[in-house]
Amino acid sequence: MLGGTEANFWRLAVATALLALWAYTFGQGLGGDSFALFLISGVIGVGADVFLFQALPRIGSRLSLLIIQCFSALSAAVLEWLWLGAKLSARQAAACAIILAGVAWALAPGKHLDAKRGVLAAGICFSLLAALGNGFGAVISRKAYAVAALAHQDIDGATAAYQRLIGGLFVGGVTLLVVKRREIVAQVTHSAPPRLPEAEKWRRAWPWVLANSFAGQTLGVTCYQWALKTTCSGLVLAIVATTPLVVIPFASIVEGEKIETRSVVGGLIAVAGAILLVVVGT
């Protein structure tokens, strides 16, 4: 209805407004020595959702999230090891290999890969970029909490989510301006495809934007940031990697996507690896 870039910007804008109400009423607003790091975390992590919203229309929500969630856990574990010294054990590395095996199985040629090779490759690349951004953003949040702790400051999850979203909203806004400029040029040259009138577009889209903002970027990211406050990013993102299993029935209902055995088995293997990663890492 809106296009990936515009949908991403408005869901971030709504969530930022909702979290601002919390941050300035019960939280710390933009205060704290860790604000700059949370802001950078948002630019990289939340900004990576630009890639997610480019992957979604190409390969669907189930496959996009399977790649993003599982590879986010891997990239976060490696980055935290390289930067913060949280080394991976042999068992953790084995668990990561199981996650990769599950992703590889789910991506193996099948009926759900009927998309053209170029479209499929682009969707996978966008998903991998989103995963890398998510992983790096999570590790920076961990560093931000460490800085706050050293300064004897207590930053709650909702405040951290708000400070991160400001950075992500900036990236989303810049990206939207670029896309809108291209659309104007296309309209002037009469090369733009037919579009819904603005009033009709928003009448149909606003309930989905509000629902996505509240469930994902407001409640979801608050819990996500709260988890990062006490638990290393690789383990947090490994748990979040169970998302693809939850997405399967929703993708079937909303997108009409057929539930296939290969995707379910691949998802189960990947999630089993994620669970093993949690077990061996605690």
Does residue 107 sit within a domain?
A: no
Both tokens of residue 202? 């928003």
> What is the predicted pLDDT for the residue at 118?
80
User: Does the global pTM surpass 0.95?
Assistant: no
Per the structure, the complete domain to which residue 142 belongs is given by: 4-88+116-238
Does residue 134 sit within a domain?
A: yes
Does residue 218 sit within a domain?
A: yes
Does residue 211 sit within a domain?
A: yes
Both tokens of residue 147? 């800085």
Span 53-58, mean pLDDT? Answer: 84
CA atoms of 237 and 224, how far apart (whole Å): 9
pLDDT at residue 24 greater than cutoff 60: yes
**Contact between 144 and 39 (Cβ < 8 Å):** no
pLDDT at residue 260 greater than cutoff 80: no
Does residue 75 sit within a domain?
A: yes
Helix axes 261-281, 233-240, angle to 10 degrees: 150
Overall number of domains in the chain = 1
Neighbours of 143 (CB within 10 A): 18
pLDDT at residue 147 greater than cutoff 80: yes
Does residue 248 sit within a domain?
A: no
